[in-house]
Amino acid sequence: MGTWFTESAWPPIMILATAAGAGVALFFTTQRVKYLAALLPLMIFGPVIYAYEQRTVTERERVETAVYDVVAAFQREDRPGTLAYFSASDRQLRGRCTWAMDFVQPNGDLSVTDVSISMGNRNNRAVARFRVTGPIKIMSIGDVGTRASRWELTWQKEGGEWRIIGLQRLDPISGEPMELMTQSERALR
């Protein structure tokens, strides 16, 4: 896959559409057919730009896909699949993930929303912030209903794949960093 200068095909297509609109406006104003030629680049290049952008996957899009995939693996309670997204070199972080999968289990579909990805200078590091909402059960007490949580994952490219090297739980309302487990959650253990 190649690289693309925008995250979406729509900005360049909108530029072409604006030029085409100007050509149509000039045609209706002057009644000169030559201004309809402004439609030609939109008709030719619009679909080409759209098709190329659809085939092009940026590093930001790869990280976003990895966010959805790691949450899906967690939802399926696929321990090896979930751990595969964490850097193999960080045993402590992998241990925290294993503990979390023992303590909290999804009790239905998890919804991932509010995803934002910021890329590092050389596209080898990324930070993903997102919200996860869904029904969960806490092993020591059972079903606790639908809960919202926010997360910040730091990703690093390792061997061509994006791996998690940092995990921060965020307050679901303010977005401020918080402990992985609150005191009330510790009491439930």
Proportion of the chain above pLDDT 70, given as a percent: 90
pLDDT, mean of residues 43-64: 81
Q: Which residues contact 12 (CB under 8 A, 6 or more apart)?
A: 6, 49
Q: Which domains does the chain have, with CATH numbers?
A: 10-55 (no CATH), 59-187 (3.10.450.50)
pTM exceeding the 0.75 threshold for the entire prediction:
no
Closest CA to 71 of 84, 82, 57, 86: 82
The pLDDT of residue 1: 42
Residue 185: band (very low, low, confident or very high) from pLDDT cuts 50, 70, 90: low
* Straight-line distance from the first to the last Cα atom of the chain, in angstroms, rounded to the nearest whole number: 47
SS3 of 15, please?
Answer: helix
Give the tens place of pLDDT for each residue, 107-166. Answer: 999 999 999 999 987 778 999 999 999 999 988 788 888 999 999 999 999 988 999 999
The one-letter code for the residue type at 93 is: L
The pLDDT of residue 26: 85
More confident residue, 38 or 11: 11
Closest CA to 131 of 118, 106, 148: 148
The pLDDT of residue 41: 74
Q: What is the mean pLDDT of the chain?
A: 85
Residue where the block lists tokens 């509010």: 114
The string of DSSP codes covering 81-93 is: HHHTTB-TT-HHH
- Over 70: is that where the pLDDT of 184 sits? no
- Over 60: is that where the pLDDT of 189 sits? no
d(CA 64, CA 141): 33
pLDDT, mean of residues 94-99: 89
Give the tens place of pLDDT for each residue, 21-47. Answer: 888 888 888 888 887 777 777 778 878
